[in-house]
Amino acid sequence: MPVLNTPFESEYGFKGPGFSVDAEGNIVATSIITGSADNDAEVEAGFVNFTVTDVDNDFIIAELGDSGNPTITIARGEVYTFGLDVPDLAFQILVGNALDSLQYSTGITHSDGSSGAAAQLKTTGTLRWAVPTSAPNTLYYADTLKNNFGTINVVDPLGQFSTIDVNSTANATSATTGALTVAGGASVEKDFFIGGELATAGIGIPKLSSSTNLELSAVNKIILKIDEIKIGDISSEGLSVTINNSTINNTPIGATTPSTAAFTTASVSNLPITDIQVSNKQYVDSTALALSIAFGL
C-alpha cells in the first residue's frame, strides 16, 4: 500500500507537526519520550521483556528458546519486566548461586504493588526491574528452594558506563591518534590522572585556567622550556632562569642605555674595570686610602 507523508495522527485526534514519515517508511520525530503504563494489564500485554514459565522444575523463558534456565543478559540503567507463570517454582533474583545466597532486590517492584524483597518469590503477575547502575556484573535467578539457577549477565549499555577499561596500549601522538579518541570536548567531574605526557595542539593559544587558585607542584623541579630548549627551572632553592630583555618594576635589565635602579641591599663581587661598571666597597675603600696617602690627606 502507498505511504502517505502526513502528520502523525491517532484516532483520538492527536496530530504531531514534528513527526513525519518518508516514502521508505523512515520516521523523523522532534523527540521521543517513553514511559511505563500505570495499568498492569497494559504492561503485561505490551511491555513484557521476558515471559517466564516452568516446565519439569526448570524455568523456561520464551524469548530465549526452550532450554531450561537460560542465561539472561541485561543492561544497567534499563528497565525489564518478567511476565511470571511459575506456579511450581516461584521466582527470585540472587547475588550468588549457592543455598546461602542473598536476594538482590534493588529496583524490583511487582504488579501487586509490592517492592524490594516483598516483590520476590512471586509465581504470577509482572515483575518489573529497573536495573541500577551499581548492579554487579553477575546475578542469578532461582526457585524458592534454590534447586536450580539461571545466570544473569549485567552489562553497561552502549554509551553509558559505570567504569571503563581501554586495554589498547597505543600511544597518542596527535589529537586523532591513541587508544581512545574523542571527536568533541570531554568533561571530567573529578580528578584526572595522566601516566604519561600531557600535550595540547590546535589553532590559537592553548589555555590552562582555574576558577579558583591554580597550583603547580613537582617532587623535584618544574622545568621551563621554549621550543624544546630549556630556559630554566623552579626548585626548592628558587627560580633559576636566565633573564634577558626583561624588567623589574618597569626598570630594564640588560639595557644598552643607562637607567636607574633602587635596592634595599646589594653586593658586587667583582672589581670595576671600566668607568660604567658598579664598584664594590672594597675597591672604593682601598682606592680612597691610596689617594689619601698619595696626597697626604
**Are the C-beta atoms of 7 and 17 separated by less than 8 Å?**
yes
Per-residue pLDDT at 120: 97
Is 225's pLDDT higher than 80? yes
Per-residue pLDDT at 20: 65
Per-residue pLDDT at 160: 67
Per-residue pLDDT at 52: 96
Per-residue pLDDT at 11: 47
- The whole-number average pLDDT for the span 92-119 is 96
Q: For residue 33, which amino acid is it?
A: I
Is 238's pLDDT higher than 60? yes
> What is the pLDDT of the chain when averaged over all its residues?
82
Is 279's pLDDT higher than 70? yes
Is 43's pLDDT higher than 50? no
- The whole-number average pLDDT for the span 275-297 is 82
Per-residue pLDDT at 92: 97
**Are the C-beta atoms of 89 and 133 separated by less than 8 Å?**
no
Per-residue pLDDT at 250: 74
Per-residue pLDDT at 45: 32
pTM value surpassing 0.85: no
Is 295's pLDDT higher than 60? yes
Is 6's pLDDT higher than 90? no
Domain ranges of the chain: 1-33, 40-155
The helix, strand and coil proportions of the chain, stated in percent and rounded to the nearest 5, come to 10, 30, 65
Per-residue pLDDT at 36: 43
Least confident of 115-124, 217-226, 276-285: 276-285
**Are the C-beta atoms of 83 and 52 separated by less than 8 Å?**
yes
DSSP string across 152-210: EEEEPPTT--SS------PPP-STT-SS---SS----SS----SS-----SSS------
**Are the C-beta atoms of 28 and 37 separated by less than 8 Å?**
no
Per-residue pLDDT at 46: 35
Burial class (CB in 10 A: 0-12, 13-18, 19+), 64: middle
From the candidate CATH numbers 3.40.50.2300, 3.20.20.370, 2.60.40.420, 2.30.29.30, the one assigned to the domain spanning 40-155: 2.60.40.420
